[in-house]
Amino acid sequence: MFKGFSPVYDKNSRILILGSFPSVKSREFGFYYGHKQNRFWKMLSQIYNEHISEDIESKTAFLLKHNIALYDVVLESDLKGSADVSLEKSQKKIADMSFLLPPNTKVEKIICNGKTAYNLLVENFESEIPIIYLTSTSPANPRFNISDWQKELG
């Protein structure tokens, strides 16, 4: 089984962004959205009009500065590749996200980065906090739409 990453959050986090599970490239890099072609970090840089360095410390500091928490719906999986279609069929352990919500944080909305994250979340987790599906930032997704992300993060 492969393990996902620890969550990034603090008590001031207002938005929780959830992916499905780290890709092979992200697991090699050791942090969320580590594939160079993934649009996630470039998108955040554009939305907030701020440069984000490539190192994990800078990315973490950026998220916390903007009150963004980051985690994945799947905590562990035997997924060999990176495709969400394979993840849906893999053995997996769903993450407990309750500690990322009030009263531990100020999270007011949960944004799912892609359909798989959204489906897994609503199937396995109940929340009073709004759950929003946005198109995946994956380089494999031709339907990515930055304006929807900007609307929810702005």
Query: Three-state SS across 43-56?
Result: HHHHHHCCCCCCCH
Q: Quick check: bond before 139 cis, omega within 30?
A: no
Q: Which letter, b or e, does each residue of 114-124 get, where b requires 16 or more Cβ atoms within 10 Å of its Cβ?
A: bbbbbbbbeee
Residues 22, 28: Cα–Cα separation, whole Å:
10
- 139 within 8 A of 23, measured Cβ to Cβ: no
Minimal CA–CA distance to 150: which of 100, 94, 111, 108?
Answer: 111
Q: Which residue has the higher pLDDT, 1 or 97?
A: 97
Q: Which letter, b or e, does each residue of 33-67 get, where b requires 16 or more Cβ atoms within 10 Å of its Cβ?
A: bbbeebbbbebbeebbeeebeeeeeebeebbbebb
Number of domains in the chain: 1
13-46 pLDDT per residue, tens: 999 999 999 988 898 999 999 989 999 999 999 9
Q: What CATH number corresponds to the domain at position 139?
A: 3.40.470.10
**Please, is 152 exposed, middle or buried when counting C-beta atoms within 10 Å of its C-beta (0-12, 13-18, 19+)?**
middle
pTM of the model: 0.93
Report residue 150's pLDDT band, with 50, 70 and 90 as the boundaries: very high
Range of the domain at 136: 2-153
pLDDT at 95 over 60: yes
Q: Per-residue pLDDT averaged across 90-102, rounded?
A: 90
SS3 label, residue 134? strand
43-89 pLDDT per residue, tens: 999 999 999 999 999 999 999 999 999 999 999 888 665 555 555 66
109-113 and 15-19 as β-strands: parallel, antiparallel, unpaired? parallel
